Homo-oligomer: A and B are copies of this chain.
Amino acid sequence: MNTLNHTHEAAAKSWVASAQGHADFPIQNLPYAVFCRKSGHEAWRGGVAIGDEVLDLAALQAKGLLSGLAAQALHEASQSTLNAFMAMGHEAWHALRIALFDLLSSSASEATQNAVRNCLVPQTEVRYNLPTQIGNYTDFYTSIYHAENVGRIIRPDDPLTPNFQWLPIAYHGRASSVVISGTPFRRPMGQAMPPGTKAPVYGACARLDFELEMGFFVGPSNALGEPVALKDAPSHIFGMCLLNDWSARDHQFWEMNPLGPFLGKNFCTSISPWIVTMEALAPFRQPFERPADHPQPLAYLDEASNRAAGSLDIQLSVAIESVAHRTASKPASRISATSFKHQYWTTAQMLTQHTVGGCNLQSGDLIGTGTISGPTASEAGAIVELSQGGRVQVPLHETGEQRTFLLDGDAVIFQGWCEKTGFARIGFGSCSGTVLPAIS
């Protein structure tokens, strides 16, 4: 058995019964979160998802079952934030993955199973915190379909800016307003310039939107002034989560020229609690297919291994659950589905571009990929695209409602997963948030 790959084997089974064929968290996944029990006043600590359970890493640490690098990694992964664990790098991450896989495998001894069983907490009994202290949050803009869709709304004559195909565009986001999935947020107040008016108005956002994104977390840091070459970029990426870059389109479109989005974005950004490691995602890598008539990347952004396996086929869905859905106990209405594989730039290219001028990334930093929209209209990752700037109603079939933008009480729910013949399906769980009315 290849020790680098045995944690991916589809046939591998866990003694945790709920992990067998679990849609998100079979033994092949082993994603990390920071959690505590809902009841009591427990400390936040690291956990790993297995089936319907959380493996409590602080409790596991106390059992003293691991040794060497895996034990050191477990110590850091059991803390109240995962920054120090992410700083350790791939060798440590891999050592702990192998060790946890072996502890949870059906081939583990009965004594091991009994010891580890005591460290399991049902996911229904826990709540989650942000997985890291996010030093800085950056958001990229790497879907050409999203850029074209939104560009057509803002600049009909010139939808795609000339830099898009040459570099992964990004802006700095607001780290303090990143919240964990499930946290409701107020509809923001702000300034907008409604069409046909001569002066802006102050009021509650009238064009509230979501943005379907992935986030990724920085592993080892780089020093100020020291760029990370593309070949080294993957070793600086720990794992990924789902990310909702909530957007107040009316505020954003009025404020953003010339310095970019600010208040239109910084009122709330939601992330899923579970971080799926790049090692778990490895089987779902695939070549990135840049159209032949597009410019090829400059050398510092172009590398054979990135072209060969820089894209990730992560399937994604967006659903809205309105007040009417909850009242009638209807399931949420899916309004879009796409895949992360369509992004124009890879996570490695994003990380290298971020550091090319010397910017220092720090362990635990959060980087968003930008809205993920696929090539067809139904694969759009924002409601401003699905509704074509508010001109077309988006149907919510389960209730007969429709939307152009989000209403108070709407919850938006993202789900993400990877499926491939010969491998176990793994998932991210969900990322959700509910719109509260604006402050009066």
For A161, what are the chain B residues with a Cβ–Cβ distance below 8 Å? 257-258
Assembly stoichiometry (copies): 2
Least CB distance, A215 to chain B, in whole angstroms: 16
- Binary CB contact string for chain A from 110 to 137 against chain B (1 if under 8 A, 0 otherwise): 0000000000000000000000000110
Tell whether A67 is near chain B: CB-to-CB under 8 Å.
Answer: no
Tell whether A71 is near chain B: CB-to-CB under 8 Å.
Answer: no
In Å, the complex CA distance between A359 and B251 comes to 14
Q: By the criterion CB–CB under 8 Å, are A167 and B255 in contact? A: yes
For A353, what are the chain B residues with a Cβ–Cβ distance below 8 Å? 263
- Binary CB contact string for chain A from 354 to 366 against chain B (1 if under 8 A, 0 otherwise): 1011111110010
With A191-B166, A258-B154, A439-B227 known to touch, is A176 a contact of B361 (CB < 8 Å)?
yes
Tell whether A309 is near chain B: CB-to-CB under 8 Å.
Answer: no
Least CB distance, A38 to chain B, in whole angstroms: 21
For A362, what are the chain B residues with a Cβ–Cβ distance below 8 Å? 176
In Å, the complex CA distance between A358 and B248 comes to 12
Task: List CB contacts (< 8 Å) of A343-375 with chain B.
Answer: 353-354, 356-362, 365
Tell whether A413 is near chain B: CB-to-CB under 8 Å.
Answer: no
Which of A13-21, A88-96, A182-190, A234-242 has 4 or more CB atoms under 8 Å from chain B?
A: A182-190
Chain B residue with Cβ nearest A226: B439
Q: From A136, A151, A300, name the one whose CB has the most chain B CB atoms within 10 angstroms.
A: A136
In Å, the complex CA distance between A411 and B185 comes to 46
Q: By the criterion CB–CB under 8 Å, are B172 and A172 in contact? A: yes
A residues lining the B interface (CB < 8 Å): 135-136, 141, 151, 154, 161-163, 166-167, 169-177, 179, 185-186, 188-191, 193, 199-202, 205, 224-227, 248, 251, 254-264, 266-268, 295, 298-300, 353-354, 356-362, 365, 436, 439
- Interchain residue pairs A-B with the least CB separation, the first 10: A260-B260, A188-B357, A172-B172, A171-B259, A186-B225, A259-B260, A267-B357, A266-B359, A263-B357, A267-B358
